[in-house]
Amino acid sequence: MGSLLQKKPEILSPAGNLEKLKTAILYGADAVYLGGQEYGLRSAAENFSRIEIEQAMEFAHKRGRKVYVVLNAFLHDEDMQGLDDFLAFLEKSQVDAVIVADLGVLRQVRKFSKIPIHLSTQASCLNYESALFWKEQGVCRIVLGRELSLQESSQIAAKAGLEVEIFIHGSMCMSYSGHCLISNFTQGRDSNRGGCAQSCRFEYSLERENGERSQGFFLSSKDLWGMRALPLLKEFPVHSLKIEGRMKSALYVGGVTKAYRAAIDLLFSSPNLTEEQIVHFEQELDKSVHRDFCTGNLLNSAGLESVYDERVHNGEKSDYAIAGMVLEVSQETNQMFIEVKNSFNLGQTLELLPFQGENIAFQAEHILNLIGKSLERTKPSSVIALPLVAGAEAYNIIRVRTQCN
């Protein structure tokens, strides 16, 4: 393992489907993680069929990016059937690694393939001895528990001689990952096989033993927002920064990936990030759907400030929404064709997110449907044509402000 100092960490983005995978890569992800139809923890996500995995590999590898496939469910014996065949397929497809939590699955991977193995955060690896154990089992990278600081994570990498990956952004489990059976034993949905019912997001009334009563979302964690921790990466390097969110939108995937890509590139091409730059990137992150933010344990131990304890809205929110995604541009007709995800009106200001560089604000003028009819307002799940914005490309995200100051 080479020295990590001054080496940019990998930005690892979620890919809930093929469209989001392309979005993540085009917006700057070094690697993406995705789930097949089985064996992952997001059963409700669209996930990838085998043909889609092959397409994903082709798209990513053509651009020098990596693809990791999650196999991080805790499987029962009967779930293991077919895993050997799936592993043979993944190996043939040249996936760059599989992400595994279960020692049984890990042993199957080693038995049936030579695919590199990353240990999932579900295994709650929190210390160097544990990391060494998993290294002995054949793991080459560990996705550390979100309970660790950046400093602790970096020290584990150095002491265990392993690649480490940490979560830098996104939703967080309140429990140690893999240490929550609420969903299993209250709703019959196995959270460790992809069925988490998110009971932690419920509002609870709490009666303490001293009789004190309160109401709130005390099991609901605020989202992780690691932008402020990035400057420490030069002192405490890690190999990979993971963005959570295979269930989230293309706007989230593209917007968040772009912000971290730009921040990391800037950090490693200058002495450090300035406060002004950090604020700028945080403002960009704020435009993707999120809960309230905290820095988790990256800088200090997460305290009550990381939890929705009061009777407040704890849902996901943003002042911006994805207006649509550019499907194609036609130089011939000087138009761009947009798949509309959220409605917007004629004359409304939109923002196009190029894959790199400053975002471009423009007004929605001359909205046409595909038979040339002018529209005053778009509707979701439709395809429309707008005058071409210079620099627009397929898979560019267009966002719209939903709240006015």
Partner 1 sequence: MQLVAYLDKDKFFPPSSFVKEVIVCLRDFSSRPVFAKEDLPDLYAEAQRRGQQLLLECDLLFNSEELERASAELLELESNTDCLRILDTGLARLLVEQIRSLQIDLMVNWGNHNSEGLLGWNEAFGSAIRRLILSPEISHSMLDGFIKKIPRQVEIPVLGALQVFYSRRLLLSEGKDDVQALASSEESAHKNFPFYQNKRGTFMDHVRDLGILDDVVNSFQGEQVWGRIDLRGRPSEVLWPLLERFWESRSAEDWLTFKEQYTRALFKGYFRQNKSSSLFRKLKNEHLEKQHDGFVGEVIDYTKKEYIVIKQPVWGHHLCEADWIEFLTPEGKKIGGRVRDLHKLNGHVLKDSEHENYFVMKAVKGAIVKSQLYFTKREEAPVVSSPS
Looking at 85-93, 148-156, 224-232, 350-358, which segment touches partner 1 (CB under 8 A)?
Answer: 148-156
Q: Does 91 bind partner 1 (CB under 8 A)?
A: no
Site string for partner 1, 342-361 (x = CB under 8 A): --------------------
Q: How far is the CB of 365 from partner 1 (least distance, A)?
A: 18
Choices 25-33, 62-70, 205-213, 259-267 (CB under 8 A): range interacting with partner 1: 205-213
Of positions 69, 99, 105, 364, contacts partner 1 by CB under 8 A = 105
For 246, which DSSP code? T
Q: Can residue 7 be called a binding residue for partner 1 (CB under 8 A)?
A: no
- Which segment (162-170, 176-184, 268-276, 314-322) binds partner 1 by CB under 8 A? 176-184
Determine contact, residues 9/238, Cβ cutoff 8 Å: yes
Which 8-state DSSP code applies to residue 327? E
Give 247 or 383: the residue with its C-beta nearer to partner 1: 383
Under the criterion CB under 8 A, does residue 190 sit at the interface with partner 1? yes
Closest CA to 239 of 134, 160, 162, 163: 163
Buried b / exposed e along 74-98 (16+ C-beta atoms within 10 A): bbeeebeeebeebbeebeebebbbb
| Least distance CB 270 / partner 1 (angstroms) | 32
DSSP code string of 308-364 = --SSS--S-B-SEEEEEEEEEEETTTTEEEEEESS--BTT-EEEEE-SSS--EEEE-
- 35, 83, 121, 370 from 190: Cα distances, Å: 17, 19, 17, 45
The count of residues interacting with partner 1 (CB under 8 A) is 97
* By the rule CB under 8 A, 300 interacts with partner 1: no
Measured from the CB of residue 96, what is the shortest distance to partner 1 in angstroms?
A: 21
Q: Are 34 and 15 in contact (CB under 8 A)?
A: yes
Among 34, 71, 90, 131, binds partner 1 (CB under 8 A): 131
Interface residues for partner 1 in 55-84 (CB under 8 A)? 55, 74-80
Describe the strand order of the beta sheet including 320-330 as a list of residue ranges. Answer: 360-363, 349-353, 397-401, 320-330, 335-340, 382-387
- Nearer CB in complex with partner 1: 129/310: 129
Residue of 232, 383, 388, 389 interacting with partner 1 (CB under 8 A): 383
Q: Residue 272 in contact with residue 246, Cβ under 8 Å?
A: no
The answer to the question of residue 27 lying near partner 1 (CB under 8 A) is no
Alpha-carbon distance of 331 to 333, in angstroms, equals: 6
